[in-house]
Amino acid sequence: MDVSFRPIVEDDFQTLCDLIPSEEELFWVYAHGKYPLTIPQVRRLVDNRMEPTVMLHDDRVVGFADFYSYRKARSVFIGNVVIAPSMRGQGLGKRLVCRMIDRALRGLDLPLVKLHVYNRNLRALIMYGAMGFVPYAMKVARDYRREPAMMFSLCLSRDEWLGG
């Protein structure tokens, strides 16, 4: 399946909102967001993140991810990873995350890329593990219903990713 990537533009904001079909999923993608995701929330998110990136298939936005907590010459976090519900299960999440990893480790010349993922997001946990991410911390958090949830912090080194 052919995909392309580009920076998000304001015309994409509503489409990004539409990619998130539930309160639970919004929590997994953007824990500080309020359901339903709105254009003003997306605008604030994009204004506070690095390299907000959309994935396109047939000129349609089907995914999104960005960076945050950039530490020059050290690390960056991949955040807000989401794929359109109708496009899941086709490897697009992995392709989007690979794009962000390559951008961080090669483009930004960082030795480490990190991310956070919640225990109930099993598909993401499996994908990240298969990609070589390893846990380095975990903490109890509260989910969108204010119930306990475990947040795992994962990392992937440039050496591990590039095989060096």
Q: Give the domain CATH number at 70.
A: 3.40.630.30
d(CA 133, CA 156): 5
Contacts of 21 by beta carbon, 8 Å cutoff, 6+ apart = 85
- Tokens encoding 110: 């960082």
Q: How many structural domains does the chain have?
A: 1
For residue 30, what are the CA distances in angstroms to 78, 87, 160, 162?
12, 19, 27, 29
pLDDT at 164: 57
pLDDT at 1: 86
pLDDT higher than threshold 60 for residue 61: yes
pLDDT at 82: 98
pTM, whole model, 2 decimals?
0.97
For residue 100, what are the CA distances in angstroms to 14, 38, 135?
22, 24, 19
| Sign of the CA dihedral running 27, 30, 31, 35 | negative
> Domain containing 89: what range?
4-162
pLDDT digits (tens, 9 = 90+) for 65-121: 999 999 999 999 999 999 999 999 999 999 999 999 999 999 999 999 999 999 999
